Amino acid sequence: MNDQEKAEKIVNGMLEKDEFSRWLGIEVIEVKPGYSKLKMKIRKDMLNGFDICHGGITFSLADSALAFASNGYGNIAVALETSIAFSNKVIEGDTLTATAEEQSRNRKTAVYNVIVSNQNNEKVGIFRGTVYITKKEF
Amino acid sequence: MNDQEKAEKIVNGMLEKDEFSRWLGIEVIEVKPGYSKLKMKIRKDMLNGFDICHGGITFSLADSALAFASNGYGNIAVALETSIAFSNKVIEGDTLTATAEEQSRNRKTAVYNVIVSNQNNEKVGIFRGTVYITKKEF
Amino acid sequence: MNDQEKAEKIVNGMLEKDEFSRWLGIEVIEVKPGYSKLKMKIRKDMLNGFDICHGGITFSLADSALAFASNGYGNIAVALETSIAFSNKVIEGDTLTATAEEQSRNRKTAVYNVIVSNQNNEKVGIFRGTVYITKKEF
Amino acid sequence: MNDQEKAEKIVNGMLEKDEFSRWLGIEVIEVKPGYSKLKMKIRKDMLNGFDICHGGITFSLADSALAFASNGYGNIAVALETSIAFSNKVIEGDTLTATAEEQSRNRKTAVYNVIVSNQNNEKVGIFRGTVYITKKEF
């Protein structure tokens, strides 16, 4: 099993047991060590009181992308700090894609940028996350 | 109707139409202009693949607290930037409380700190959000 | 030497060798394990092209407060992630006070909120920092 | 004067009056509307008590890059929220390059990612900033 296959196996295992990501309807488009690309569709039960997508939904997609990109090497990584700028509104029926790209990785911590875009290629969320890399292996 | 009653009326109206906050089971404990205190219980369908609460759930509670604290004055406010540090893990059955407190408010923008704690008074999420205050009134 | 004296000794030693904090004119008002309060005055050479204080100056004061609050226990701690909301402008002659308060501390990481205020008690910077606690002792 | 020339004229004017950026020794490598690339060298008076570069210095370079990228269109833009992950340490003699790239720009706000790298192309700071675009023109 090479690095790529290992990353895919880990992420598939994570998603299978991840009840909230499955409630969100997250689909894995591509995964590599240090990288992930996910997709989901915005449903009515994801909206807030202004009839637009709750910020927590966009964040959650990006946070899952962070988890899938940072865990693919084989060691369990946990999020320490995450942040998101909301740059365009998201509405029911939108299809969001989140792409997580590794910015740096040391022995103990790693940093990822995640861009969340809609079906028109407009960026709706600009996310960053720092994870702590544990010694625990999958 | 005084400021306090106005804030309560706005937040109750927001929550009533907020499908995702209602899926989360969010309960409003207290609300004032510039302040909100919310509560929710962590269910099995809120967990991630490591059997702990998905970061997006804790974030979503804090993000709702931000919305309820910043909209109570009467003008619609939208989140621009939010960030959260995850300081302790959250598990099924935990009861989380989020308290949003205004740090500053100008004509156009306002900043809030939100602390999310569990039933043992341990902080599990340290959140901050900056909102843009629109001219649109409730 | 009790915990308080130890924290003071560490911070005094840090500040003595910290050339940039000394260029800033930072003065330690109070320090305890997990807490620090610093003061500085804004000079002309700290302004940007709009004749207001450069954001990096306000950030630097808060970042020093983070370092002094998080290192006082005896283990060297390094900043992983920091963020600041600029809530009011700062001008020449202002006296800024930064107060760092610990939000959480585990074996490996700790989180601090730092509030930067001016001489009129207006908040000018709302800062948060997460540090990694090394095994290296002072 | 085309957009490119206008952006250069604005940034040159900003830098000329920006006393702190000049103390830092910041040099403009390239500037376009929504983009900037800056360079500076780390001196002894920029170090902290651990003999490494003070986090505020790396932040300040990125914050200047944010200002130069976001102001080049002609309207004065001010930073609301900024954050930085410190991914590798910086020492005396290092040459840092900051590259600011626009992620989104609406009528009122814009978001930029800034990467700060050293002379070995290692990322030392991963920065994001959200600005508010005023109606005031240069």
SS (H, E, C) D69-103: HHHCCCEEEEEEEEEEEECCCCCCCCEEEEEEEEE
For residue B44, list chain A residues with Cβ-Cβ distance below 8 A. 19
Searching chain A, which residue's CA lies closest to the CA of residue C80? Answer: A130
Searching chain A, which residue's CA lies closest to the CA of residue C129? Answer: A81
pLDDT of residue D132: 98
Query: Which chains reach chain B with 3 or more Cβ–Cβ distances below 8 angstroms?
Result: A, C, D
Number of neighbouring beta carbons within 10 Å of residue B117: 18
Confidence grade of residue C130 (pLDDT, cut at 50, 70, 90): very high
* Mean pLDDT across A34-55: 98
Searching chain C, which residue's CA lies closest to the CA of residue B105? Answer: C87
Searching chain D, which residue's CA lies closest to the CA of residue C62? Answer: D56
Query: Which chains reach chain A with 3 or more Cβ–Cβ distances below 8 angstroms?
Result: B, C, D
Q: Cβ contact (<8 Å) for B128 and C88?
A: no
Contacts of C121 (CB under 8 A, 6+ apart): none
Q: Cβ contact (<8 Å) for D81 and C76?
A: no
Distance from CA of D95 to the nearest CA of B (A): 30
Among C8, C103, C21, C22, residue whose Cα is nearest residue C62:
C21
- pTM of the predicted model over 0.95: yes
* Burial status of residue D115 (CB atoms within 10 A of its CB: 0-12, 13-18, 19 or more): buried
Searching chain D, which residue's CA lies closest to the CA of residue B134? Answer: D108
For residue D81, list chain B residues with Cβ-Cβ distance below 8 A. 80-81, 130
User: Strand locations in chain B, DSSP E?
Assistant: 27-32, 35-41, 75-86, 95-105, 109-117, 123-137
Confidence grade of residue C125 (pLDDT, cut at 50, 70, 90): very high
pLDDT of residue B93: 98
Q: Cβ contact (<8 Å) for C83 and A83?
A: yes
> What strand order describes the sheet that includes D95-105?
C27-32, C35-41, C95-105, C109-117, C123-137, C75-86, D75-86, D123-137, D109-117, D95-105, D35-41, D27-32
**Do B66 and C85 touch, CB atoms closer than 8 A?**
no
- Which of C132, C133, C135 should be substituted to probe chain A, the one whose Cβ sees the most A Cβ atoms within 10 Å? C132
* Mean pLDDT across C6-21: 96
Q: Identify which of A46, A64, A67 has the shortest CB distance to residue B20.
A: A46
pLDDT of residue C127: 98
Distance from CA of C116 to the nearest CA of D (A): 14
Number of neighbouring beta carbons within 10 Å of residue D39: 15
Q: Cβ contact (<8 Å) for A15 and B86?
A: no
Q: What is the CATH number of domain A3-137?
A: 3.10.129.10
On the question of pLDDT at A1 being above 90, the answer is no
- Which of A99, A102, A103 should be substituted to probe chain D, the one whose Cβ sees the most D Cβ atoms within 10 Å? A103
pLDDT of residue C101: 98
Segments in chain B below pLDDT 70: none
Q: Cβ contact (<8 Å) for B57 and A57?
A: no
| pLDDT tens figures, B34-51 | 999 999 999 999 999 999
Domain spans, chain A: 3-137
Compute the count of residue pairs across chains A and C with CB atoms less than 8 Å apart. 17
pLDDT of residue C1: 87
Distance from CA of B13 to the nearest CA of A (A): 8
Q: Cβ contact (<8 Å) for A49 and B86?
A: no
Q: Cβ contact (<8 Å) for C111 and B126?
A: yes
pLDDT of residue C32: 96
Among C40, C129, C20, C42, residue whose Cα is nearest residue C89:
C42
pLDDT, chain A, mean: 97
Segments in chain D below pLDDT 50: none
On the question of pLDDT at A57 being above 90, the answer is yes
The three-state secondary structure class of B34 is coil
Compute the count of residue pairs across chains A and B with CB atoms less than 8 Å apart. 129
| pLDDT tens figures, C69-87 | 999 999 999 999 999 999 9
Crossing angle (nearest 10°) for helices A55-71 and B55-71: 150
pLDDT of residue B1: 87
For residue C109, list chain B residues with Cβ-Cβ distance below 8 A. 87
pLDDT of residue C107: 93
Cα–Cα distance for residue pair B87/C91, rounded to 1 Å:
35
Q: Cβ contact (<8 Å) for B128 and C85?
A: yes
